[in-house]
Structure 1
Amino acid sequence: MLNLDLWFFAIAGPAVIFAGISKGGFGSGAAFAASSMLALVVEPAMALGVMLPLLMLIDAATLRPYWGRWRLREAMILILGGLPGVALGAMLFRVASPDLLRLLIGLVSVGFVLWQIASRSGKLKLGTRPMPDWGGGIAGLTAGFTSFISHAGGPPAAVFLLARGLDKTAYQATTVLVFWAINIAKFIPYAALDMFTQATTQANLALAPFALLGAWLGVRAHRIVPERLFFAVTYVALTATGLKLIWDGLT
């Protein structure tokens, strides 16, 4: 049951705006925080079902501003690797309990924060040589899998793209293209798993303006907002929600 009450919009509205800002301006890396936040107030499968159409709407809104500025080779490597990852995620989803999904989403959330802290502090080095194509295939497989179970494909894709030396705008444009394709691929298995209902459709219609506002803000924030500030807020939110979901999943 999904109650579109004040409490739902107090959580979902800012979460969806946040997802739009992340996908529109910061490489999609933290967009899955919206799913983590929603999973605090509704069943995880319902949270994912609410978010996918909204993420697809954000994808459509951000394709045009970054059109043609992506690196097509890197994008295709990630997309082709991501498709079997989506299939793998669908197979796991069929047997996963709500508590297992909470645990997985929580672990991905906290793992993302730890990975970012390690990479930015220099403790985790990506290397000076560009990652080979086969490494991108593995990154794509991981991105497709984590994207399916928690909309968290950004970190594995980022490892590959950053190791290929993309500049800020090419990196952003490539992630927009990659997750536009992966999210389309996720739609059919999500529907087959009954993750779209009348309640999620009503939530989508109500939250669509928040998604478009977030996308608009993200494209503009790409040029003017320091990434350090944006991701500092992201890390705090993801750590708190991730730990709460892990606790709920275990207890």
Structure 2
Amino acid sequence: MDGFLLLDPQVLVAALVAVFLVGLAKGGLGGALGILGVPILSLVMSPVQAAGIMLPILIVMDWVSLWSWWGEWDKETLWMLLPGGLLGIAIGWATAALVSESAVKLIVGVIALVFALNWLRGQLRRTQPEPRPHSRVRGTFWGTIAGYTSFVAHAGGPPYQVYALPLKQSPRVYTSTSVLFFAIVNAVKLIPFFALGQIDVPNLEISAALLPVGALATFLGARIVKRLNAEVFYPIMYSMVALVALKLIYDGWVELF
């Protein structure tokens, strides 16, 4: 892929939509939007290249968010999740090096579909359990899954939420902790992405061209989250996740088998 990739109308539209939705997520709209970035880009390019283009944009957004939430994180949560997160990145690196693009497409699609189904399950369950205590075993497991899915699809949020949401932290502590976790994870991911050749000049040019869109979307996300009716918005977004996931699963399955 060359530096003129964005001149392709299909790629341009997919890139603008993907970065805009991820920016909205970073601005506060969260889960469903954030996971759409790589799957949407994967419809028009390699999933590994899509992740490589998104990574610099995500890192810039991470550090802006980190500045906004500095010092309000929970150290114990980070201690439980980060070792697994680093292990997950290593597993993702090995997967990207050894597994075909079709298999990665299938993996990304399954991740997205499981996320959508997990949201649906949450909507069907109306009980409110008591706060769950920390667990090294659960933290290492879900941290590993978060690191892996973050590496292959920048989709580490759902596994992180599986562990962190039952802790019933205050919104400020939860947000600050998740921001720091993914700021660290995304920064560490630069090493294997460089090694895989996905942080190169053409991809960085694309990232730089798309960064203003992400910045604008982050600002809009913060504004929209204060006004939007979540009961209407989130079902639409999660439906989009499911549709993109099914498309990627289909493409990956057909290419592999």
TM (normalized to structure 2)? 0.90
Matching residue of 1:21: 24
- Aligned positions of 1:189-204 closer than 5 A: 189-204=192-207
Q: Specify every segment of 5 or more residues in structure 2 that has no aligned partner in the other structure, as ranges.
A: none
Measured against aligned partners, the alpha-carbon deviations of 1:178-230 in whole angstroms (never above 9, x if no partner) come to 10010011110111011123221111111010111122223334443344444
Matching residue of 1:232: 235
1:147 aligns with 2:147: no
1:54 aligns with 2:61: no
Task: Check 1:37–1:244 CA distance in 2 against 1; reply closer, same or farther (3 A cut).
Answer: same
Task: Check 1:136–1:183 CA distance in 2 against 1; reply closer, same or farther (3 A cut).
Answer: same
> Structure 1: which amino acid aligns with 2:153?
S
1:176 aligns with 2:179: yes
* Higher alpha-carbon deviation: 165-174 or 206-215: 165-174
1:249 aligns with 2:226: no
- Aligned positions of 1:1-251 closer than 5 A: 1-2=1-2, 3-5=5-7, 6-28=9-31, 30-122=33-125, 127-134=129-136, 135-251=138-254
Deviation at 1:128, TM superposition (A): 2.4
Give 4+ residue runs of structure 1 displaced > 6 Å after superposition. Answer: none
Whether the 8 Å contact between 1:20 and 1:211 is mirrored in structure 2 is yes
**What is the identity percentage for the equivalent residue pairs of Structure 1 and Structure 2?**
31
Deviation at 1:169, TM superposition (A): 3.1
Which SS does the other structure have where 1:42 is aligned? coil
Task: Check 1:137–1:243 CA distance in 2 against 1; reply closer, same or farther (3 A cut).
Answer: same
Whether the 8 Å contact between 1:36 and 1:106 is mirrored in structure 2 is yes
Which SS does the other structure have where 1:4 is aligned? helix
> Structure 2: which amino acid aligns with 1:56?
I
User: How many aligned residue pairs are there?
Assistant: 250
> Structure 1: which amino acid aligns with 2:134?
P
What's the C-alpha RMSD, in Å, of the aligned pairs? 2.0
* Higher alpha-carbon deviation: 192-201 or 49-58: 192-201
Tell me the distance in 1 between the aligned counterparts of 2:90 and 2:207. Answer: 24
Task: Check 1:228–1:62 CA distance in 2 against 1; reply closer, same or farther (3 A cut).
Answer: farther
Task: Check 1:212–1:132 CA distance in 2 against 1; reply closer, same or farther (3 A cut).
Answer: same
> Structure 1: which amino acid aligns with 2:227?
I
Which SS does the other structure have where 2:188 is aligned? helix
> Structure 1: which amino acid aligns with 2:111?
V
Tell me the distance in 2 between the aligned counterparts of 1:223 and 1:66. Answer: 18
Whether the 8 Å contact between 2:27 and 2:219 is mirrored in structure 1 is yes
Tell me the distance in 2 between the aligned counterparts of 1:219 and 1:194. Answer: 34
Q: Specify every segment of 5 or more residues in structure 1 that has no aligned partner in the other structure, as ranges.
A: none
Task: Check 1:131–1:119 CA distance in 2 against 1; reply closer, same or farther (3 A cut).
Answer: farther
Task: Check 1:157–1:29 CA distance in 2 against 1; reply closer, same or farther (3 A cut).
Answer: farther
Deviation at 1:32, TM superposition (A): 2.4
Tell me the distance in 2 between the aligned counterparts of 1:143 and 1:54. Answer: 19
Task: Check 1:163–1:102 CA distance in 2 against 1; reply closer, same or farther (3 A cut).
Answer: same
Tell me the distance in 1 between the aligned counterparts of 2:13 and 2:32. Answer: 23
Deviation at 1:39, TM superposition (A): 0.2
Task: Check 1:249–1:94 CA distance in 2 against 1; reply closer, same or farther (3 A cut).
Answer: same
Task: Check 1:165–1:112 CA distance in 2 against 1; reply closer, same or farther (3 A cut).
Answer: same
Task: Check 1:203–1:223 CA distance in 2 against 1; reply closer, same or farther (3 A cut).
Answer: same
